[in-house]
Amino acid sequence: MLTYRLAAEKMKRMKTVTTSVVLGLALLICGIGRAQTSPPAPAPATAPTTPKNATPVFVPQEFFAPQEYVQINGTCATEMSPNQAFIVGGVSSSALKPGDAVEQLDKQLKLMRSYVAEKHGEIQMMERVRTLKNPQPGKAESDPPFQVVQRLQVTFPPDAPMDAILEKLIELGFDRFGDNVLNNFNRREVVIRFRITDLDARLNDFQKQCTAEAWQQWCSTANDKEICGSKMFPADLDLQSFNIRSKETLMRAEGNSAPWQFNVMRGQQRSPEVPDLMGNVTVHLIGNISLSYRRKRQEEKP
């Protein structure tokens, strides 16, 4: 009986310890979950600080001033005359052997160089072409099989006596005319031509002239003494377009006729093809220019 009572008390104490352990574990788990789900405490607010190496930025008041774009248009005129006359063509020499043809050709060119220098001109040697004609079987050829052709260009001042010079060059052996010196038989070629060698520079000056005239014309009617006080147009005057056209209809070496036309748009560079003139004539050009200028918006007076 005593033994049974002792065993019952021991079992009761073990249940109490087990219950305490289970309650402790439950409280521990609840504490961990609450710590994970609770938001972190906010950090104390601090005033922003300026870096020691910061540089203050100054923004001018004019930056915020309202601005407007002004469209300026103008028309101008100029004239241009050629500053060079030139003859295009070549000299040919034929022989049974290449060496003989070249020797004869060099003799003719030596005489031409001497004459051109005497007349204060310049001779420019270009391509030298060698051709050989295949003989037909059983047919006698009247011309020697080998031929050498020297293409050249002779330049003089525009007021030089070009007709007399051409006649003398023909006497010295000038026998090919025009650009195609290999096959110009039975065709008429323009031999004497005229050229404006500095056309691009002259058109650039013409553009500046048109810009200045358009600016002065606009300033004569604009109520803006601050920007119109100088005779020179401002550097930030933007070109929108510049169109040039000749009054005359001019011939081309190909045979057609058309006015000269050059167009320059904003952001494009002008590199016009230099057309040759068929005579020593003066070309009259008309220019139409369009410009834009950005300025502070004018306040309307009440």
Q: What is the per-residue pLDDT for 164?
A: 96
Band (12; pLDDT cuts 50, 70, 90): low
**Tokens, residue 135:** 């003989």
Q: How far apart are CA 13 and CA 21, in angstroms?
A: 13
Q: Determine whether domain 84-134+143-195 maps to CATH 3.20.20.140.
A: no
- Region 165-178: mean pLDDT is 93
What are the pLDDT digits (tens) for 280-292?
A: 999 999 999 999 9
Q: What angle do CA 138, 139, 143 make, to 5 degrees?
A: 145
- Region 225-234: mean pLDDT is 75
Q: What is the per-residue pLDDT for 57?
A: 45
Q: What is the per-residue pLDDT for 163?
A: 95
Q: Where in the chain is the domain with CATH 3.30.70.360?
A: 84-134+143-195
Band (296; pLDDT cuts 50, 70, 90): low
Band (8; pLDDT cuts 50, 70, 90): low
Name residue, tokens 């190496």.
53
CB burial readout 4-41, b (16+ within 10 A) else e: eeeeeeeeeeeeeeeeeeeeeeeeeeeeeeeeeeeeee
Q: What is the per-residue pLDDT for 80?
A: 96
Q: What is the per-residue pLDDT for 214?
A: 93
The pLDDT of residue 20 is above 80: no
Of 245, 258, 243, residue with least CA distance to 284: 245
pTM: 0.68
What are the pLDDT digits (tens) for 110-124?
A: 999 999 999 999 999
Computed over every residue of the chain, the mean pLDDT equals 79
**Tokens, residue 274:** 């230099």
The pLDDT of residue 67 is above 50: yes
The pLDDT of residue 271 is above 60: no
Q: How far apart are CA 87 and CA 158, in angstroms?
A: 11
Q: Tell how strand 84-95 and strand 122-132 pair up.
A: unpaired
Least confident of 38-42, 71-75, 274-278: 38-42
Residues contacting 243, CB < 8 A, separation 6+: 261, 262, 263, 264, 287, 288, 289
